[in-house]
Chain A
Amino acid sequence: MTAAEQLRERYAAELRGFGSSLPEDFGAAAAELAPRFSAQQLELWAQAGVALANYSLRSWEASAEYFRASPQVASAMRFEQLMAWARIATELAERSSVVSAAFLKATPEVLEHLPPWQLEPWARQGERLCRGNWKSIALCALYFSSSPRLLAAMSLQRLGELVAVVDALTERSYELATTCVEHAPQIFGALAPRDHEPFLRFAQAVTRVSWADTRLYLERGPALLERVEPEMRSRFLELAARVTADVGRQGFPLFAGAAAALGEIELSQHDAMLAFAGRLAIASPIAAMEYLKSAPFVRTRLTAEQMQQWAESGASVLLEDGNAEGAEAFFRLESTRAEQLMTALTARVELAHVGSTLRLYAKALTGEQVSVRSTEELVERGIGWVTESSATTEGTAIYLPPFISTFEHQDANFQAYKVFATHQAGRMEFGSFRYRFGDDGTQTPSTVHERERRVRGDAPTRATTAMERYFDLFPDRALIAALFTVIEDTRVDAYVGREYGGIRSVLRRLQAHEAQHRPALQGMALRAAFVENLLRASLQAADTMQWPHALEPVLRDGLSALRMVELAEATVQDSAEVAAALYDIAQRIPNVELEPDEQWETPDGDLLEVAASMPGGGAGDVPMPQGEEAEFETPPQPEFRGDFKPELVQLLMQLRQQREGDGEGEGAGSPITQQQLQELLEKSVELSLSGMEEGDIASSLAMFLSGLEKEGGTPQGEPRPEHGQQQGSGEEPVQQDLPVAIEWFHYDEWDFRAADYRPRWCRVGERVAPEGSLDFYQETLQRHHGLVAETRRQFELLRPETFRKIKRLEDGEDLDLDHAIEFLVDKRAGVGPQARIYWRRNKIERDVAVAFLLDMSASTDEEIEKQRPRRNEREDGFDDDPRKYFQWLAQRRAKQAQEPPKRIIDLEKESAVLIVEALEAIGDAYGIYGFSGYGRENVEFYTIKNLDEHFSDRVRKRIAKIDPVRSTRMGPAIRHTVHKLEGFEAKVKILILVSDGRPQDHGYGRDRTEKEYAVHDTKQALLEAKRAGITPFLITVDKEGHDYLGEMCDDIGYEVVADIESLPRRLPSLYRTLATQ
């Protein structure tokens, strides 16, 4: 019997109780180990296994693993080490047999990654996770069972760090900790080993501050990192960890944002950028991350060097001025300084910055009420334009691209904008849309009537506009549209060149630029190539033309016709004639693709200088190549000329006229019908070309129609304010439910921490306040009739003292007899008096405008009763006798039911009534406005009475309807009121803000409780008012010390109305003092 068999015999009995497999496992292992170990050793080994099996109820499972793993484990180590291993297993079994089993089972594979002496630290690391409850046991077991894979991906030390993270997570969520372990092998397998440590360090930091983010980090982190330059990843992670230690919860979002941002930037820049961020991080980790986050946006405007310059300026805010908040705002792009600097540095010009200049410019050129808008808006309007990037005009607005960055210098790009705008304005100024069917041009007589007869016979035209009627003469709509566009653009360019010598050179530059970026001619189908050549010639780049030699006469005819519209007096009528003649020529050119070996040549000097003349038909007999014809494709338009849709513009103009009831003008006699519109759309070149599905056509048809209708409904004019709609605009609008027109304005907001404005931060929506009933006003007057009469009287005293005599003047209207006599007497007496003996009437004019701004925030909903100190009453009166108290309470409730308690807003309203009465007596110009809103994008501004509006019943009704709405963002409301006052002519301007003293809004400060930010911004807005020559005055009706404004309004007029209910009395008298200073 072998030693192993003996052993087996001996232990068979002991192992019997543990299921059938255990003795077998034991036997198999013993057989393998016997040759290696001495009997004594074998004995020790076996005893350890049996002890393990006996340790607890289920520890036989661990024991089984022990026996199964032993042969392999033993082959990797000395016997003492094996015994140490067994001891660890036993110790683990003390905690849990499951854990122990997992440990034992994983060991053989783990040994592929670890030397035997590291088994102990490996086990101890895992043991930490085991806390006795079943969740921790499962997690710990998972640790061991995953270890082979984990250790394949990472070192033991890193694994220890991972355990620390996992351990920390267990305090929050075992589920999360488990996932973490499950995914770890994969995550770390994907990461470069050198990044493991920083990755884990950041993970620890994240877990510490925001455990929920750990999951996100583990899920997304590796992918995010992948987009960072490989060499830089660990540096980036270190930075992120440092930031997180500093900023807490924001750490991961900042990391994610910055990583995504880095992903959008060339890898070669990462080094420098991270180095820079590292510098910032020393003083402000947030600034560092914000810097990285804004980088992609900044890079769309600036080159790498420019960005460096820009960032340095932000760094100096941080490092030199020591203003961390300022630097953070700077890099978050929420600072005027940052934006201005960017604008100064960039070559790219934004429409947002130059739009208003260009609008006035275009207005000057055309004499029309044009507005300038971004092409992005055009498609949305759904009136037949479908390309978003081309400049164009629809007759009242000029659409320009949102930015231009074609050239290297800002000025060149701005000049380009000017050329864009001038070309579009030129279409209006030089009459591109004033085509009249059948009128002669200055260079060419009209032939369209004959053509119409030829094409249509006696059938009447169905066209709605002259342009449409013209286009209808040509079977190939795309071809005539392309030709007419080239010709008319040529004419407009020629005019611009002649009339605006100052931008001629820029125009040439743009033409040259466009000419260099034309599609290749060779390979184009022949007819398209013909049009393309004309276009090149019209860009003054005839030398880039290419054309088959054999067909030269055809091109010559085309060119000389083109030159016709470059003549000084040419009109759109000439363009139409020339385009028609060119159409005839082009029609004869088959749209075939020529063999590659066909001779295309650049025409010589002679052709470049052809004189203007209408084609005489001499080229008629040139033999044309044969072949299969392709569909005609319109060559792309040069950018500065943009889209041209004269037929739509004429239609729109006609629709607008129709709406305005202006019946004059050609074709305006018969109103346009839906059907005609439909036909027009179906003919629209772009739609047929883009090959839409039936459904698409139907839906865009509907969009087109409704778009057009809207257009027609809006009278042409100033840039239309964006119109918003309030809720409640149903299908059938009732008088009062009509959608309220909202006009939007943007204002900066003052960030006192950054000591800088946040540009265009708040959006103020101005609207006319809703109307209530007339009763309120009348009732208030009756209730306060005594007060009303008194204030009226006081105010009447302020009325302008029209003509007052000023006496004792050296010169004046007339002699003052008394003084004259006095003078003569003095003189005779030799006193030597001065000849001040005239008088004159002096006129003192009263010229005051005042704007009242009423706080309509929810806090004004508070009852005044509540704010009264009532405690004493309660304590003294009822403390001993609860019945009395309840009695009192019941009485009070009953009283309230009859007469609802007054709220702050009610007093504001009553005061408004009084002040209106008083001001009407004195004749000062006044406006009443209310404000509220929620968030910076939604500051609501209600006009109750505009400064230049007459007092009326509508105003009375609006006062009645003043109601508490939402929050209080005072700054933008004040700024908007200042804006209104600035637009009003008066010598003395006053702004009176009536509020409960609590500026408060979503995002108006770091959190809901912070007041400083809001207070600073409000104060800043009041100072702006002062700077604009307006006297601001603040009245707050807050009694409970919520008055945050008071303390800082040192140099601004300010009053807390002590007894709130006296507000209606106090306001008029305050005004009196203010307006007569």
Chain B
Amino acid sequence: MASTTRRTTASEQAPGKGAGFRSLQVEEFRIKSEPYYLPIADEVELFQTAYAQHMPVLLKGPTGCGKTRFLEYMSWRLHQHVPTRAEEGVPLITVACHEDLTASDLVGRYLLEREETRWIDGPLTRAVKVGAICYLDEIVEARKDTTVLIHPLTDYRRLLPVEKRGELLEAADGFLLVVSYNPGYQSALKDLKHSTRQRFVAIEFDYPPRELEAEIVQREADCSAEVARQLAKLGEKVRNLKEHGLAEGVSTRLLIYAGKLIANGIQSRRACQTAVVWALTDDAEVQRSIEEVVTSIFED
């Protein structure tokens, strides 16, 4: 059947443009301007070095603590020295992993089209070809047989076997595999295989300390410094409850949401209630306690 298959490459597919929305091929997504990222520790330096050395990176940290943002920022920054790239922006290919994610979903598959089958590259294949950073978000969610697929890509070989086509693709120079992993809520069952895990250098993320988080919130939510400070304080206090009724501490993302609501005229206590309290837990007891923290910090 392979003989009847016409090869298609990504470049043949034009980006579709509809009314009101834009549809892009994954590798066409470009980061055009510098994303805002406030370094918390030495993560920028670490990543830079790892990238230069072709070392795959594992970003470990709770939800909404800035992993994606960090990667966007790093892709942009790393490609600055490439003149063409600087202009057209930096590709970052993101795949959200889930239970049913199969190897074909990553590598590519045949589709039937009229009388013939047509091959279509998966996102990983595209990233390998164009030399983009490929970000597998929540890698543990993917099935084990899928994760094994990335093994040859993540050692010195940097090869992606495309079994169905009997091909071996060598990764283009700018390619780097980055995976993320949130150790918080996974059960022991869903741990990364050691052979997978030991292929990555791990950069640990956590929520930023109070002052930095206040800065981030203020900037991202466009709220007052005082509100940002209070929200960061709330974040810190609520995170103290982690593992005591709360599976996850409140994310920077949620604090930013709350900040945005407040900046747009919602009363602060109410904003925190919707963006923080109710988003965090359904346990009435814990909700009540967090609300008390909220009412202690915010005056109205």
State the A residues within 8 Å of B (CB): 356-361, 363-367, 418, 422, 499-505, 812-815, 820, 835, 837, 840, 843, 985
Other than the given A500-B296, A813-B104, A814-B164, 11 more pairs (CB < 8 A) read A356-B285, A357-B285, A360-B245, A360-B289, A360-B290, A365-B240, A422-B296, A499-B297, A505-B299, A840-B100, A843-B143
Q: Which residues of A contact B245 (CB under 8 A)?
A: 360
Question: Number of contact residues on B: which range applies?
Answer: 35 or more
Q: Which residues of B contact A366 (CB under 8 A)?
A: 240
Question: B103 to A418, Cβ gap below 8 A?
Answer: no
Q: Residue B112 contacts which of A364, A365, A502, A835 (CB distance < 8 angstroms)? A: A835
In Å, the complex CA distance between A843 and B103 comes to 15
Question: B294 to A357, Cβ gap below 8 A?
Answer: no
Q: Which residues of B contact A358 (CB under 8 A)?
A: 289, 292
In Å, the complex CA distance between A579 and B164 comes to 80
Question: B297 to A361, Cβ gap below 8 A?
Answer: no
Q: Residue A502 contacts which of B244, B285, B288, B298 (CB distance < 8 angstroms)? A: B298
Q: Which residues of A contact B292 (CB under 8 A)?
A: 357-358, 361, 418
Nearest CB of B to A816, in Å: 12
Chain B residue nearest to A359 in the complex (CB): B289
Chain B residue nearest to A842 in the complex (CB): B100
Could you list 10 examples of A-B contacts with CB < 8 Å? Answer: A359-B289, A360-B241, A360-B244, A361-B289, A364-B237, A365-B237, A499-B297, A505-B299, A813-B103, A840-B100
In Å, the complex CA distance between A814 and B112 comes to 12
Nearest CB of A to B140, in Å: 15
Q: Residue A813 contacts which of B102, B112, B285, B293 (CB distance < 8 angstroms)? A: B102
Q: Residue B110 contacts which of A360, A502, A505, A815 (CB distance < 8 angstroms)? A: A815
Q: Is the interface of B mostly helix, strand, loop or mixed?
A: helix
Nearest CB of A to B271, in Å: 13
Nearest CB of B to A569, in Å: 14
Central interface residue in B104, B292, B297, by most chain A CB within 10 Å? B292
Question: B297 to A502, Cβ gap below 8 A?
Answer: yes
Chain A residue nearest to B164 in the complex (CB): A814
Nearest CB of A to B57, in Å: 28
Q: Which residues of A contact B241 (CB under 8 A)?
A: 360, 363-364
Q: Residue B288 contacts which of A357, A503, A504, A815 (CB distance < 8 angstroms)? A: A357
Question: A503 to B296, Cβ gap below 8 A?
Answer: yes
CB under 8 Å from chain A, chain B span 84-102: 99-100, 102
Question: B102 to A502, Cβ gap below 8 A?
Answer: no
Q: Which residues of B contact A359 (CB under 8 A)?
A: 289
Q: Is B68's CB within 8 Å of the partner chain A? A: no
Closest CB pairs A-B (n = 7): A360-B289, A367-B240, A500-B296, A364-B237, A502-B296, A813-B102, A501-B299
In Å, the complex CA distance between A365 and B296 comes to 10
Q: Which residues of B contact A363 (CB under 8 A)?
A: 240-241, 244
In Å, the complex CA distance between A499 and B234 comes to 11
Q: Is B261's CB within 8 Å of the partner chain A? A: no
Q: Which residues of B contact A367 (CB under 8 A)?
A: 236-237, 240
Q: Is B238's CB within 8 Å of the partner chain A? A: yes
Central interface residue in B1, B100, B293, by most chain A CB within 10 Å? B293
Question: B240 to A364, Cβ gap below 8 A?
Answer: yes
Nearest CB of A to B299, in Å: 5
Question: B290 to A364, Cβ gap below 8 A?
Answer: yes
Given the contacts A357-B288, A357-B289, A364-B237, A502 and B104 also touching, CB distance less than 8 Å? no
Q: Is B295's CB within 8 Å of the partner chain A? A: yes
Q: Which residues of B contact A837 (CB under 8 A)?
A: 112
Chain B residue nearest to A429 in the complex (CB): B237
Question: B240 to A502, Cβ gap below 8 A?
Answer: no
Question: A502 to B289, Cβ gap below 8 A?
Answer: no
Q: Is B67's CB within 8 Å of the partner chain A? A: no
Question: B187 to A985, Cβ gap below 8 A?
Answer: yes
Chain B residue nearest to A503 in the complex (CB): B296
Q: Which residues of B contact A812 (CB under 8 A)?
A: 102
Chain B residue nearest to A367 in the complex (CB): B240
Nearest CB of B to A933, in Å: 28
Nearest CB of A to B63, in Å: 19
Question: B299 to A502, Cβ gap below 8 A?
Answer: yes
Q: Which residues of A contact B112 (CB under 8 A)?
A: 835, 837
Q: Which residues of B contact A500 (CB under 8 A)?
A: 296-297
Q: Which residues of B contact A365 (CB under 8 A)?
A: 237, 240, 293, 296
Q: Interface readout for B182-217 with A: 1 if CB under 8 Å, 0 if not?
A: 000001000000000000000000000000000000
Q: Is B223's CB within 8 Å of the partner chain A? A: no
Given the contacts A361-B293, A813-B103, A835-B112, A499 and B233 also touching, CB distance less than 8 Å? yes
In Å, the complex CA distance between A361 and B99 comes to 37
Q: Which residues of A contact B109 (CB under 8 A)?
A: 814
Question: B295 to A502, Cβ gap below 8 A?
Answer: yes
Q: Residue A504 contacts which of B99, B286, B299 (CB distance < 8 angstroms)? A: B299
In Å, the complex CA distance between A776 and B222 comes to 70
In Å, the complex CA distance between A358 and B295 comes to 13
In Å, the complex CA distance between A505 and B296 comes to 10
Q: Which residues of B contact A985 (CB under 8 A)?
A: 187
Nearest CB of A to B182, in Å: 17
Q: Which residues of A contact B269 (CB under 8 A)?
A: 502
Given the contacts A502-B294, A813-B102, A364 and B238 also touching, CB distance less than 8 Å? yes
Q: Interface readout for B267-296 with A: 1 if CB under 8 Å, 0 if not?
A: 001000000000000000110111011111
Central interface residue in B110, B143, B244, by most chain A CB within 10 Å? B244
Nearest CB of B to A428, in Å: 11
Chain B residue nearest to A418 in the complex (CB): B292
In Å, the complex CA distance between A217 and B285 comes to 50
Given the contacts A363-B240, A364-B237, A418-B292, A814 and B104 also touching, CB distance less than 8 Å? yes
Q: Which residues of B contact A835 (CB under 8 A)?
A: 112
In Å, the complex CA distance between A500 and B233 comes to 10
Given the contacts A365-B240, A499-B233, A360 and B295 also touching, CB distance less than 8 Å? no
Q: Which residues of A contact B290 (CB under 8 A)?
A: 360, 364
Chain A residue nearest to B269 in the complex (CB): A502
Central interface residue in B245, B289, B299, by most chain A CB within 10 Å? B289
Central interface residue in A360, A363, A815, by most chain B CB within 10 Å? A360
Q: Which residues of A contact B238 (CB under 8 A)?
A: 364
Nearest CB of B to A727, in Å: 35
Q: Which residues of B contact A813 (CB under 8 A)?
A: 102-104
Nearest CB of B to A454, in Å: 41
Nearest CB of B to A903, in Å: 40
Nearest CB of B to A585, in Å: 35
In Å, the complex CA distance between A500 and B99 comes to 44
Chain A residue nearest to B238 in the complex (CB): A364
Central interface residue in A357, A502, A840, by most chain B CB within 10 Å? A502
Chain A residue nearest to B245 in the complex (CB): A360
Nearest CB of A to B261, in Å: 17
Q: Residue B285 contacts which of A360, A503, A843 (CB distance < 8 angstroms)? A: A360
Chain B residue nearest to A421 in the complex (CB): B292
Given the contacts A357-B288, A813-B103, A840-B102, A364 and B293 also touching, CB distance less than 8 Å? yes
Question: A503 to B295, Cβ gap below 8 A?
Answer: yes
Central interface residue in B1, B102, B240, B245, by most chain A CB within 10 Å? B240
Chain A residue nearest to B236 in the complex (CB): A367
In Å, the complex CA distance between A355 and B1 comes to 71
Chain A residue nearest to B110 in the complex (CB): A815
Chain B residue nearest to A419 in the complex (CB): B296
Q: Which residues of B contact A503 (CB under 8 A)?
A: 295-296
Chain A residue nearest to B286 in the complex (CB): A360
Q: Which residues of A contact B237 (CB under 8 A)?
A: 364-365, 367
Q: Which residues of B contact A843 (CB under 8 A)?
A: 99, 143
In Å, the complex CA distance between A837 and B117 comes to 12
Question: A501 to B297, Cβ gap below 8 A?
Answer: yes
Given the contacts A357-B292, A363-B241, A365-B237, A501 and B298 also touching, CB distance less than 8 Å? yes
Q: Which residues of B contact A357 (CB under 8 A)?
A: 285, 288-289, 292
Nearest CB of B to A802, in Å: 11
Nearest CB of A to B263, in Å: 18
Q: Which residues of B contact A356 (CB under 8 A)?
A: 285, 289
Chain B residue nearest to A356 in the complex (CB): B285
Q: Which residues of A contact B164 (CB under 8 A)?
A: 814
